[in-house]
Structure 1
């Protein structure tokens, strides 16, 4: 039976899985920063996953199926996840950086159909494997081995995961403290970086230590301004999500346990859909 979100949150190993996945996403950014930024905020995550799902659902016999500007705009704007102009700008960005291409001959047809480039297929497979690997950490399963032996499964699993996440308001619209980061440019990358560095051995009932964070280096790494990052950190600190222990020479950043718990509950929604899709697609 697949995990429910409640099962995952109640499992003491889930926090290890969350940290593992965050570390994998951080590594994915290091390997391909521009591509990884497609998952860097909640809005871009929804756009990317929905676009890829539409492409995987393409049926050549049905001209209304697949990834077109009209279809992506309809899916996203109907959930109020982004405006029409944002969707169109996103597609232009994908084309500019060659993460997608027109289907052969589609440049002269209407509607124009897009298909992911090989680098995009590779990145989405890596994202799926990271999620499955995190679930394997929770129960000692063999999901990763199963999917790596049948790589075509990503074309079946990803659309189901993406659609369930898009349609679920609990995932689509994170709680306020999580949304503070996730609806911010590069906020997802920043949270992944912090979560990947959590010290889970600490026994402070209120805080989880992250360690020293060089905001100048982190801003440069994620291609955002230092002012933008400092403003985000200031808002998060004001709301009690993060803070600094200044007892040492180098201030040590911490996250509140309540923020970490909120983040885990939100992530559990997606992980439950990943597990459900895996069980559905491999039964």
Structure 2
């Protein structure tokens, strides 16, 4: 049985699981910052996951299937995630950084593209980290199952990606979360904050984050310090974050409401991943009684 959204959001270990996931994703940034930034804003997350799903759904018997500009554009614009020009720029960027390449033998339009090996590795690592986060909740063996049978990702990822794209509760983050997630590298900032949470010192309204050096953080994530400070100020004005030392602004806290909304939003994605992976295991004739 896979977790429902409600089961995840109310699970007593869910915040600790999300903290683990945030730290795992932040570590992946440290080892490959350029590719990690492809998932660092919500728009890019939706573009990347949808593009990868289209690639995995390629059927040589179906004309126009696979990852094409037309296919990606139609799906993305249908759900008002990005404009046609943004989709074109996204594909061009992937080609420029060699995360994507023209499929061998492609001689006519629509041109079909395939991810480079570094992109496969990055997506596999992302899936593995999310499954490991789910395993923390029930001592499951999802991550081990994927590591033993990597082909399960090819079945699970398109199902998860399409579900997330079609689900408004994931596609449209809560305003407090979207403030960060709709900006470039904003997801990295949220991952950092979540990875630093001190759950042992929680009060009714505030959770301690600890020392946050905005200058160092901006440098590390290759974003403008002014941009980061503007984001933090807007969030503080909403009451979602704040500082224990208001003058120096170094020791941060986040509100319980911000964390609750973030947890419920993440529960939508993790429930989709859990369901898709369980479905993939069943489709492949494998099962794990703990999932």
TM-score interval, normalised by the smaller of the two chains: over 0.9
Specify the alignment match of 2:288 in structure 1.
none
Q: Distance in 2 between matches of 1:93 and 1:69?
A: 13
1:3 aligns with 2:6: no
Runs of 5+ consecutive residues of structure 1 not aligned to the other structure? none
1:75 aligns with 2:75: yes
Specify the alignment match of 2:133 in structure 1.
134
1:261 aligns with 2:260: yes
Q: Distance in 1 between matches of 2:246 and 2:176?
A: 26
Q: Distance in 1 between matches of 2:174 and 2:30?
A: 28
Matched residue SS, 2:89: helix
How much does 1:244 deviate?
Answer: 0.4
Specify the alignment match of 1:102 in structure 2.
102
How much does 1:222 deviate?
Answer: 1.0
TM-score w.r.t. length of structure 2: 0.95
How much does 1:278 deviate?
Answer: 1.2
Q: Distance in 2 between matches of 1:119 and 1:54?
A: 17
Which residues in structure 2 correspond to 1:130-169 (within 5 Å)?
A: 130-169=129-168
How much does 1:203 deviate?
Answer: 3.2
Matched residue SS, 2:151: helix
Matched residue SS, 2:199: coil
After TM superposition, the runs of 4+ consecutive aligned structure 1 residues lying more than 3 A away are: 247-250
CA RMSD of aligned residues (A): 1.2
Runs of 5+ consecutive residues of structure 2 not aligned to the other structure? 283-291
1:187-241 Cα distance to aligned partner (Å, 9 max, x none): 1110000000100101311111111111111111111110000000000000111
Which residues in structure 2 correspond to 1:2-41 (within 5 Å)?
A: 2-41=2-41
Specify the alignment match of 1:281 in structure 2.
280
Specify the alignment match of 1:203 in structure 2.
202
Specify the alignment match of 1:244 in structure 2.
243
Matched residue SS, 2:201: coil
Residues 250 and 172 of structure 1: CA distance in aligned 2, closer, same or farther (over 3 Å): closer
How much does 1:249 deviate?
Answer: 7.0
TM-score w.r.t. length of structure 1: 0.98
1:230-264 Cα distance to aligned partner (Å, 9 max, x none): 00000000011110011797730111111000000
Asked if 1 retains the 8 angstrom alpha-carbon contact of 2:213 and 2:250, the reply is no
Specify the alignment match of 2:47 in structure 1.
47
